[in-house]
Amino acid sequence: MSLDRRQFLAGGALLASALMPLDRSRAQTAWTVLGQPVASVPWLRDVRRVIIDTDPGTDDLLAIIMMLGSTRITTEAITVTPGNIGYEQEVRNTLFLVQTLKNGTIPVHRGIDHPLLGRSYPAAGFIHGRYGFGDMVVPEVALKPAPDHAALAISRIVSAHPGEVVLLALGGLSNIALALLLDPSIARKARGIVIVGGRYEGIGTSVSFNAMVDPEAADIVLRSGLPIAMTGSLGETEMLTQADFDQIATFGTAKSALFLKSNAERLKFETEKRHKPGATYADPFAATMVLEPSVALQFEAVHVAVELSGTETRGSYVFGGTHIYTGDALPANVAICTRASHEIFRDTVFQALRA
């Protein structure tokens, strides 16, 4: 199913009702329900088609290299969403990557260039650098964006391949939420969505940059009925250390050189300013969940909501809600990866950068 411009504009009328507060009968008052262990997420097995929704910073760059290098999975399109840096630079970065890695053969779609309600959100240049790829100046390329809006492209592609397309959500969820508002049927037509989440350590709240970008969009996606898998708090499992960077430097490929040039400052920031043993790569880990699902050793099924009103907590995920009147657990809507193989993650990254 494709949407014409009239339907696209009419979708805006749905936004107000979609963002109405939940009925108080389902409001959350306590976070008392731990997630239930789940061994695997069946729809992550044997994925053949993806749409990458991205806000290209340093970690997105690596995830895109990994996905576009796959010989098994077809990237149907890349859509650009609000997130890490200024939107026009994000578009420029995406076009550069697709031109460089795939000779411009994958369509790049501009999406909404701001959160659904137009509210400001924190910039992430402190870790991604001035241009999104560290201090690397990204050149303009011949490739231009495809003509249709990202939300329309998502609806069209998912509807053309029901049950096949995984949405790999690496940034704010504005485009995907807008696609759901315009065409709610994609919630049951998509194979599923992999979201880069926040720190999950059981019940309570946790900050997630991607949810902070557009909390209303995250709320729409979480309540849509889409099958959702989310990255959790995996610590060193999803890190690359200085030793890993040194190993990558021996590969001598164009991809490894691009990664090292764009990510050197990220490693320095995380080790020197955050005192971590390496740089964290949640976006590439999400890509690995699609490319090599055996990387995920354990999931927890849990109810996840997003805080829309808090002065200091707006955009935080809320894990483990209960019914306000009965105390019963709200049904799980997300499978969160809570344990994973660092070796499979690192090997998948290395394989992509060696090519």
Nearest CA-CA partner of 316 in 229, 232, 215, 225 = 215
Give the C-alpha separation, 49 to 290, whole Å.
10
Cα 97 to Cα 230: distance, rounded to the nearest angstrom:
25
In whole angstroms, what is the distance from residue 307 CA to residue 328 CA?
A: 20
Q: What's the number of CA atoms in the CB half-sphere (13 Å) around residue 158?
A: 27
**55 labelled catalytic:** yes
What single letter denotes the amino acid at residue 90? E
Cα(322)–Cα(336) distance, integer angstroms: 18
What is the C-alpha separation between 3 and 149, in angstroms, rounded? 10
Rounded Cα distance, 221 and 205, in Å = 18
The CA distance from 355 to 351, in Å, is 7
**For residues 169-185, b (16+ Cβ closer than 10 Å) or e, as one string?**
bbbbbbbbbbbbbbbbe
The one catalytic residue among 53, 55, 59, 283: 55
- Give, for 171, the enclosing helix (H) or strand (E): none
Q: How far apart are CA 129 and CA 268, in angstroms?
A: 12
Task: Kindly give, in sequence order, each residue whose CB lies less than 8 Å from that of residue 217, ignoring residues fewer than 6 positions away.
Answer: 115, 116, 172, 173, 174, 176, 177, 178
**What amino acid positions are annotated as catalytic residues?**
55
